[in-house]
Structure 1
């Protein structure tokens, strides 16, 4: 295959890759699969006298296959099209009409995260999908955020299988790390050098000893009151001048039709349907910071134009 055909599978710059990721994420939710494949018409005729049409993956389409670099949305596509998720989505109107009710619990009898404990297949799909998304986002975070420098100990609250902590330690090996999550997640977490896995409940207590705590895509799971309580729990165990590193989606203050805004909107709908949470603006995150008693709020970096890395200083 000549270089022209190879270009079909390759993004031509970092900005193109970022945009492709956002488009691919939108496709995962809307199933607008035409964005996945790119077609190229050859100017010559084939042996039968017909114009030959050649297909290849577009920059967005590359995210829908399993890749060696781990940048894939294949597992996420499987998750959002699973029977359990589709059943809830088909009842979306009830979430609007029955304001305040947990739609997932209404349909399945348990809240989303409690249901995961009873459905190993869905739990594996969910945590694998979240690990894939975190892998892509954390790569970008580590490119632009320098706030891990100088941290001696870091607690990742709701850290899943610990993969993101391992990525951080690969760049900052001197950090002592604790991966904190619920028992059924920790029991399946692989062993990583320099990382201690700890089981527990984030709303009961946070492990002590960290001069920094990371909340990566945690706040969007909950309403303000619950987030403030969690942040207060973090505040209590932090030393003076300690900080919480909040990594989460940031919605625009004004209506926005960009791919990034569409991506966040799709997650906003999902958070509303399942855990009952939502995405927030930068001002809303600052309000959470102040309400939990922190003295300083700082937007330190962004990733993919949609993800903010914020610091809440004690």
Structure 2
């Protein structure tokens, strides 16, 4: 905990009792560590949690890929990514063939979408002025598309996702889910 406090992830405090400092410190959340706590009630000032994204970034698949950065940076050709160098396949191919990593990846992308959608709608809403249609490519469960559709009802939102994801999504009338592969086809939209 001392390392995390020194790094700014937590704030260390000591407890004063009768004018004497307690032997054990206690810790408070900082702006950075609040992002790791599940507090999705944004109506009361809460915020989305991105701990799943950090879990994926520290997974063996991503860590192993990072070990290839040195070799990748020295290559003259941009033929393969560090991930492909480490695993013999791209991220999406590994997501499809490894259920555990696929689940970790899906959760990470969902947590990132919850975090980013709030910022997009709040700070960049002017981008949607005059736009009538949006396709969220690789939008998983439609978090970003739903946030846009809710904030800007004039925008028709679709999500292009892999069939395995689309098949698991219940229809709710807010967004349209389209099964496909972004490497093969992206539906037209503004």
Query: What range is the shorter-chain TM-score in?
Result: 0.7 to 0.9
Per the alignment, residue 207 of structure 1 pairs with 187
Equivalent position to 2:121, from 114, 118, 142:
142
Per the alignment, residue 38 of structure 1 pairs with 11
CA displacement 1:62-101 (0-9 Å, x = unmatched): 1112223351121012111111112222233222233424
Equivalent position to 1:161, from 104, 124, 141:
141
The normalised TM-score by structure 1 is 0.50
Per the alignment, residue 51 of structure 2 pairs with 74
Higher strand fraction: Structure 1 or Structure 2?
1
Per the alignment, residue 33 of structure 2 pairs with 61
Any gaps of 5 or more consecutive residues in structure 1?
Answer: 1-31, 213-314
Alpha-carbon offset, residue 45 of structure 1 = 4.5
CA shift in 2, pair 1:44/1:79, >3 Å:
same
Q: How does 1:136-285 map to 2 (within 5 A)?
A: 136-144=115-123, 145-208=125-188, 210=189, 212=190
The normalised TM-score by structure 2 is 0.79
Note the aligned Cα RMSD (angstroms): 2.4
Alpha-carbon offset, residue 117 of structure 1 = 0.9
Per the alignment, residue 44 of structure 2 pairs with none
Aligned length: 177
CA shift in 2, pair 1:94/1:184, >3 Å:
farther
Q: Which structure's relative contact order is higher, taking Cα pairs within 8 Å and 6+ residues apart?
A: 1
Any gaps of 5 or more consecutive residues in structure 2?
Answer: 42-46
